[in-house]
Amino acid sequence: MGAFRSVCVPVGCAGALLAWIWALLLGPSLAQPTASCAKGDALLNLTQPEYQSIPGADKGFMSGVVQSFLHTVQPNPFPKDLLLKFVNANGNIYHDQNTNKEVLLYEVGFLVCAAIGVVYIILMPVVGFFLACCRCCGNCGGHMYQRQTEAVDCHRRGLYWATLFTTLVLLAGNICMFFSNQSLKGSVKDSSVELNNTLDNFHAYLKAIPLQIDSVLMESDKTLDSVNKSLSEIGPLLGREIQRGIDGPLNHALGSVRDMAIVVNSTAVLLMRLNSIITQLRSDTSALQANVRSVRDLINTTLRNPVCAGCGAYQSELQKLKFDIAVTIPSLSNLQSVVDDITKADLNSKVKEAEDFFASIPQMVTNETKNVVQSVKQQLEDIKIKISAVKGQIPVTALNNVLNIIRDARRYIGMYSPEAQMIELIRWAVCITLSCVVLLVVVCNLLGLFLGLMGLSTCDDPTERSSTADCGGTFLMAGAGLSFLFSWLFMLVVLVLFLLGGNFYTLVCQPWRSGQLLQFVDTPGLIPGFNLGEMLGLKTNLTLSEIYNDCEQNRPLWTTLHLYEVINLTDLLNVSKYTAEIHQHFDSNEIKLSTITLLTPEISKQLHSYSDMAHGVDFSNATQQINNISTINVNETAQALEHLADNETDAGLKVELRKEAAELRKIQSDIETTIIPQLTQLNYSIKSLRVIMSQINGTVEDVLSNVGKAQDFLNNNTTQIIKADSKVFLDCQIGYFTKYAEWANLTITQKVGLCAPVAKAVDSAEVIVCKNMVESLNAFWFSLGWCLILLIPSIIFSIKLAKFYRRMKHSDVDDNHIPMHDIPRAQAKHY
């Protein structure tokens, strides 16, 4: 409508038409259609289960010292061959002398320590018994007499510091007993919680594996559903790509035809306006000519009046009143006829017909592919069933047995935890008692040292020592007595715990930490009927050590369990074997679109005639006629008549002449107010039409050229475009399968069942059993043994030092203060 208005307005009409014509002359070049795949749904990132945190291993109280001692006692490597003999003989190796010899050689360190312990157990009560008997008989310090010499103070100080040092070292060992006992208590208390957390993590890991596999398979359902959705919308999707392929040439041609229709309509409007102006102009000029003839006849009659003097000279002015103001344009009717024919052909309807064809392409594609889409959808259902069978190929059901074992283990832990806590409480109480007895010896020693030091005066006679000093000596003797009384019993505890805890560390914990224990378990035939490779159906042997090493690196089950030996994942996820038939279905079904003729030969012929007629119209004659009419001016004749009237004497004649001059001026006024505006409009219309006509020849040729190219493109390239876009569409759907297959392969082989929790469970068990419990137990017997060994020097120093503090029954005089000349030497001693 905007274009129509710009044509209808005379001013600026030529510029608007030139803009349309240049738009028709310029156009985009033809290009091959390109199609791209829509971005599919993002594949799911496989989620890993959340695990409970398990505290790491503590450094262990005195672990370094105890381990160094045990390594010294047992420097031999892990006795794999010896244990194999023991297992193969079902424990009956007592009659095999060689094996017994190997066992004794391996355990020589423990045997030596055990022998020392046995000697300790035997000698301590025996020595204590004889010492008690001797003291009762007045020997071994039992006689309450102390000889005073010059070195007595030096001896006392030496024994004091030796006893103090021994007691302090003994106190350090006793403190280690308390700490190791408390550490063992905490380890046992936390062990059930840590074991449950470890089992929970292991349970969560095993339970997550089937869920992860299900997630992978669910992604296949999403992929298949996406392809199904694309197939259901093949009309809009593929049709839109086909539309893009033909959109450029077709839109270019339709744009040219659409603009040509505007030009034709503009020409028709201009011709209608031109004819209307000419018709109105002819009517007005006919009336004007009649008026001019009437006035001219009156003037001629007046000038012939005999009364008029000098009127003959004005006869020549009447000749100026003779003019023809008719305007004609040759061949305009032929042009009008051609334009009317094109208008009846209705170029816009042809454009609308082509646009409807373009818009109906998606529906045509839907109709043409209905059968093939149905068959492909059925095949997709078969593919879904085949992919779902992948889960059956993976031995997921074997995990149920392990899950049942874990549930039983957790049930047993919950069942026996109260009993274990009660036993642990008894053990803790016994160990606390042992520690308190040793602490009692330490307290006796410290009290003896303190009281003896505080109550002793070097100036006092041994028989006159203070009660404080005597009490200190008694405490020292009490400490020695307690040592003799309980040390041999405590050594029994040390011996048993040493043999159990030391051997458990060297035979279990140490090889467990180094990995030798798992290698030993992997020994073929060690566990009858246990072959992990055969259980999984593998072609190669699979060991627990390999599994543990892989799990330490958090590798997936696919590589850890060598599942690639029993599952041909590449074949299961082979996209080509699923999609070959889909290709075949699409190749066998050819999409055919209905043909369309953009412009009929008759319309093309009419456009050619329009171009020819437009080129043959001559507007120069009409322009010249308009210019002639524009120069008409009867005011000069009127002015001449008025001048003549002024010179006449006859009043009647004068009135007639003035009246006729006034009529001429009125005619001139009518020309200027009626004829000249029409001539102006006619001139503008002729100019606008001349602009169109001057360019219409090339415009029509361009329109017909563009339409011809578009028609040839549709006739020759539509089939190729359909095939190319169909292939792209199909490749896109196959691409979804390929993307899923690559993702599924990567996920199953690299992300499903990352087995770090398995290694962490093994490490956690080693931490709970060895680093926490066994090392704490070893620290306790080591501390207790430390104290028991120190009791020997403590007894010796305490008994010797006690005589310097106890009150003697018999006195003696220091050699430095004995007057030898007054008291005979034979009488110097008193008994």
- Asked if the model's pLDDT at residue 9 lies above 50, the reply is no
Residues 518-526: contacts with CB within 8 Å, 24+ apart?
518/543, 518/544, 518/545, 518/548, 519/80, 519/543, 519/545, 520/78, 520/80, 520/83, 523/80, 523/84, 526/84, 526/87
Task: Report pLDDT for 43.
Answer: 66
CB 282 within 8 A of CB 326: yes
Confidence label for 807 from pLDDT (cuts 50, 70 and 90):
low
Angstrom distance (rounded) from CA 748 to CA 557: 9
- Asked if the model's pLDDT at residue 440 lies above 90, the reply is yes
Q: What contacts 621, CB < 8 A, 6 or more positions away? A: 328, 329, 330
Task: Report pLDDT for 50.
Answer: 76
Angstrom distance (rounded) from CA 589 to CA 238: 14
Report if residue 73 sits inside a domain.
yes
The lowest-confidence range among 79-93, 174-188, 253-267, 717-731 is 79-93
Q: Which amino acid, residue 680?
A: T
Report if residue 95 sits inside a domain.
yes
* Mean pLDDT value of segment 557-573: 79
* Helices and strands in the chain: count of H runs, count of E runs: 30, 0
Task: Report pLDDT for 148.
Answer: 60
CB 327 within 8 A of CB 279: no
Higher-scoring residue by pLDDT: 339, 502:
502
For 3, 9, 342, 578, the CA distances from 14, given in Å and listed in that order, are 12, 10, 22, 66
The lowest-confidence range among 265-269, 334-338, 676-680, 770-774 is 334-338
DSSP, residue by residue, 357-408:
HHHTHHHHHHHHTHHHHHHHHHHHHHHHHHHHTHHHHS--TTHHHHHHHHHH
Q: Find which of 96-105, 139-148, 651-660, 777-786 is predicted with most confidence, using mean pLDDT.
A: 777-786
Report if residue 87 sits inside a domain.
yes
Task: Report pLDDT for 166.
Answer: 92
Matching residue, tokens 């350090």 = 172
Counted domains in the chain: 1
Task: Report pLDDT for 271.
Answer: 80
Report if residue 592 sits inside a domain.
no
Report if residue 80 sits inside a domain.
yes
Higher-scoring residue by pLDDT: 393, 304:
304
pLDDT tens profile 205-222: 888 888 888 888 787 777
Q: Which amino acid, residue 307?
A: V
Confidence label for 146 from pLDDT (cuts 50, 70 and 90):
low
pLDDT tens profile 265-295: 888 888 888 787 777 777 877 787 788 778 8
Residue 129 CA neighbour count, 13 Å, CB half: 7
Report if residue 232 sits inside a domain.
no
Report if residue 792 sits inside a domain.
no
Q: What DSSP character marks residue 102?
A: H
Task: Report pLDDT for 442.
Answer: 93
Higher-scoring residue by pLDDT: 831, 622:
622
Angstrom distance (rounded) from CA 263 to CA 756: 79
User: 593: closest CA among 710, 708, 715?
Assistant: 715
Strand segments, DSSP code E, in 534-683 are none
Q: At what angle do helices 234-303 and 152-232 cross, to 10 degrees?
A: 50
pLDDT tens profile 450-496: 887 887 666 666 666 677 878 888 888 888 889 888 989 999 999 99
CB 457 within 8 A of CB 741: no
Task: Report pLDDT for 57.
Answer: 53
The CA-based angle 114-116-119, given to 5 degrees, is 110
pLDDT tens profile 611-643: 777 666 666 667 777 776 777 777 777 787 777
Task: Report pLDDT for 588.
Answer: 66
Report if residue 90 sits inside a domain.
yes
User: 166: closest CA among 815, 786, 655?
Assistant: 786
Angstrom distance (rounded) from CA 303 to CA 650: 13
Q: What contacts 98, CB < 8 A, 6 or more positions away? A: none
* Mean pLDDT value of segment 738-766: 84
The lowest-confidence range among 13-22, 119-128, 147-156, 670-679 is 13-22
Q: Cα-flanking dihedrals φ and ψ of residue 580, to 5°? A: -60, -40
Confidence label for 781 from pLDDT (cuts 50, 70 and 90):
very high
Q: Find which of 80-89, 245-254, 525-534 is predicted with most confidence, using mean pLDDT.
A: 245-254
Q: Find which of 30-44, 190-204, 315-329 is predicted with most confidence, using mean pLDDT.
A: 190-204
Q: What DSSP character marks residue 752?
A: T
Task: Report pLDDT for 395.
Answer: 66
Domain that holds residue 64: 58-106
* Mean pLDDT value of segment 294-299: 79
Higher-scoring residue by pLDDT: 650, 812:
650
For 21, 271, 615, 693, the CA distances from 335, given in Å and listed in that order, are 19, 9, 10, 10
| Structure token digits, residue 286 | 């006919």
Q: Cα-flanking dihedrals φ and ψ of residue 145, to 5°? A: -145, 135
The CA-based angle 416-421-427, given to 5 degrees, is 125
* Mean pLDDT value of segment 138-151: 59
For 47, 241, 725, 738, the CA distances from 728, given in Å and listed in that order, are 34, 9, 5, 14
Q: Find which of 18-32, 35-49, 88-102 is predicted with most confidence, using mean pLDDT.
A: 88-102
Matching residue, tokens 């094996």 = 99
Task: Report pLDDT for 464.
Answer: 63
pLDDT tens profile 711-721: 888 888 777 88
* Mean pLDDT value of segment 96-113: 85
Higher-scoring residue by pLDDT: 784, 301:
784
Q: Encode burial over 74-113: b for 16+ CB neighbours within 10 A, e otherwise.
A: beeebbeebeebeeeeeeebeeeeeeeebbeebbebbeeb
pLDDT tens profile 109-130: 999 999 999 999 999 889 888 8
Task: Report pLDDT for 436.
Answer: 94
| Structure token digits, residue 702 | 């361009």
User: 24: closest CA among 609, 711, 704?
Assistant: 704
The CA-based angle 227-230-236, given to 5 degrees, is 170
Matching residue, tokens 């594949």 = 43
pTM of the model: 0.66
Q: Cα-flanking dihedrals φ and ψ of residue 436, to 5°? A: -70, -35
Task: Report pLDDT for 29.
Answer: 32
The lowest-confidence range among 61-70, 74-83, 361-370, 395-404 is 395-404
Task: Report pLDDT for 26.
Answer: 31
Looking at every residue in the chain, the average pLDDT score rounds to 77
